[in-house]
Amino acid sequence: MTGRPAIVLAVVLACQLMVGIDATIVNIALPEIQARLHFTQTGLAWVFNAYTLAFGGLLLLGGRAGDLLGRRRMFASGVLLFTAASLVGGLATHSWWLVAARALQGAGGAMASPNVLSLIMSAYEDGPRRTRALGVFAAVSSASLALGLLAGGVLTSAGSWRWVFFVNVPVGAAILALTPVFVRETDRHPGRFDLAGAVTATTGVAGLAYGVIRTATSGWGDPVTIAVFAAASLLLAGFTLIEARAEQPIMPLRLFADRRRAGAYVNTLLVPSTVFAVVYFLTRYLREGFGYGPVASGFAFLPMTVVLMGVVRLAGRLITRWDARPVMAAGIAFVTAALLWLSRLTGGSGYLTGVLGPLVLLGAGAGLTTVSLSVTALSGVRREDSGAGAGVFQTLQWTSWSLGLAVLVALYHAAAGGGGAESMARGTSSAFAGASVIAVLALLSTLAFVRGRARDGAADAPREAPDGRSLPPGRGSSPDAASRPASGRSAPP
């Protein structure tokens, strides 16, 4: 990195904001896209699904490729592909053209996004400065979902659906121009690429995504859906066996050895689905239940975004003083309270009485939770594993969004029954009640597994054996043996 970490952070987070916004900005424009490009209702879902499949399936690969080939190189390559695909998507004149562009956007995002995190980790040593940087990352990632709705509404209303794609072009071009000036290439870690792990991970995660996508139209009992889930499960089981034996795995299993980190991974699989559920179901409720337009729907989430950004500024200092566990528990408690409040929505609910309060609570809870999850999941990760660690963290986030949303959509349809505002309120209330159960499970996971203070990077640093070979922590001595003086006395602070 250069000596200007604030500029470096701004450059890489501009990419994260662009990729995050793209997850929701297109949703607002879907009715206009369907009318202009003559999508069927089933085919229209692939405008979102093509992005999801490519992004989720390639995240692990993108993260590990950054470790081996250079994180700046992979970051810039991903931004270039994402930007070019956005231009191609904005110029689309046929439905297949747009779906292909969305798949390329997902691939570019999967190359760039995990390397955003690993570049941040390379720029800052474990400690308060990294905690603050990860807090900004968490704020940008969480706020991008709501900002995407707002931007999509403004661009679609003021111009054309094509601008939800074209807007990425100048942003991507600016990132590409600034990256070689301010972002220095990280050390590469040469070795054999884990091809078998890459193939089984990509196909297994993509299969899981496709199975989740099918449940929306075919249900959980559909034979093809069951077969896809079974195949994905076998592939992911095979992937775990491959990683246990691989010399340089795409997902080092040692990442799961730390109890705190494993607990954070569990929560990363649970909590994001609840926040995404609010964005998904409440957007529909505001538009169809309250009759809000696209711009008003986007602005309705502004209180949540403002509170989230403010809380994130405090979260780092709270973690430094109290550690991540109580901050994470408090954040999840706020999220749970917001979901329980939203589960009381009825056909007669209004924005001020039934929505504003929960959004403020959710902003506070999401701000505390996402920062503490990021810090706990990424603390102590070896430098040569930082790309893989970021890939695992973001793959779990994506899996939470996809799988959790599929479960909650099933709850929605089971409770909604017929049509009408009251039916929609009943279904939405049921989905939020289900999301609150997921949040309670995350709170229990925090109390059970996330114990003890976070370790610094020395705990996971490779050690050197007497014969010069590199040894992982824990082989032949305790994990922190490398940082302990030979005399047995404690090292100075």
- Give the separation between CA 186 and CA 384, rounded to whole angstroms: 10
Q: Using 50, 70 and 90 to split pLDDT, how confident is the model at 3?
A: low
463 vs 307, more confident: 307
Q: Using 50, 70 and 90 to split pLDDT, how confident is the model at 230?
A: very high
- Give the separation between CA 339 and CA 441, rounded to whole angstroms: 13
Q: Determine phi and psi for 464, rounding to 5 degrees.
A: -110, 130
Task: Give residue 270's pLDDT.
Answer: 93
360 vs 149, more confident: 360
Three-state DSSP class for residue 470: strand
Q: What CATH number matches the domain at 5-193+248-457, 3.40.190.10, 1.20.1250.20, 1.10.8.50, 1.10.3720.10?
A: 1.20.1250.20
Task: Give residue 191's pLDDT.
Answer: 64
DSSP 471: E
Digit-coded pLDDT (tens) for 35-52: 889 887 667 778 877 887
Number of neighbouring beta carbons within 10 Å of residue 493: 3
Residue 15's contacts (CB-CB under 8 Å, 6 or more residues apart) are 75, 78, 79, 112, 113, 116, 175
Digit-coded pLDDT (tens) for 169-220: 999 999 999 999 988 887 776 667 788 888 898 888 888 878 877 876 787 8
Among 324, 389, 332, 413, smallest CA distance to 131 is for: 324
- Give the separation between CA 298 and CA 154, rounded to whole angstroms: 8
Mean pLDDT value across residues 98-112: 94
Please list the residue range(s) of the chain that carry CATH number 1.20.1250.20.
5-193+248-457
Mean pLDDT value across residues 454-465: 42
Region of poorest pLDDT, from 120-134, 319-333, 457-471: 457-471
- Give the separation between CA 204 and CA 239, rounded to whole angstroms: 8
Among 171, 3, 16, smallest CA distance to 87 is for: 171
Digit-coded pLDDT (tens) for 232-252: 999 999 999 998 888 778 888
Residue 94's contacts (CB-CB under 8 Å, 6 or more residues apart) are 37
- Give the separation between CA 107 and CA 81, rounded to whole angstroms: 8
In sign, the C-alpha dihedral spanning 286, 298, 402, 161 is positive
* Residue 191 exposed, middle or buried by CB count within 10 Å (0-12, 13-18, 19+): exposed
Digit-coded pLDDT (tens) for 354-402: 999 999 999 999 999 988 998 888 888 877 777 788 888 888 888 887 7
The pairing of strands 463-464 and 470-471 is antiparallel
Number of neighbouring beta carbons within 10 Å of residue 360: 17
456 vs 372, more confident: 372
Token duo for residue 216: 């929306």
Q: Give yes or no for residue 475 having a pLDDT over 70.
A: no
Task: Give residue 221's pLDDT.
Answer: 86
Among 452, 378, 329, 394, smallest CA distance to 131 is for: 378
Task: Give residue 173's pLDDT.
Answer: 97
Token duo for residue 107: 């691939």
119 with 183: CB under 8 angstroms?
Answer: yes
Among 243, 246, 121, smallest CA distance to 191 is for: 246
**H or E segment and range at residue 463:** strand 463-464
Question: For 327-390, where are the E strands, in sequence order?
Answer: none
Digit-coded pLDDT (tens) for 311-346: 988 888 898 888 888 999 999 999 999 999 999 988
* Amino acid, res. 440: V
For the chain, give me the number of helices (H) and strands (E)? 18, 2
- Give the separation between CA 262 and CA 377, rounded to whole angstroms: 8
Among 274, 260, 479, smallest CA distance to 375 is for: 260
Beta bridge partners of 471: 463
- Give the separation between CA 478 and CA 238, rounded to whole angstroms: 30
Among 135, 148, 8, 11, smallest CA distance to 79 is for: 11
Q: How far is CA 294 from CA 11, 151, 355, 377, in A?
A: 29, 9, 17, 36
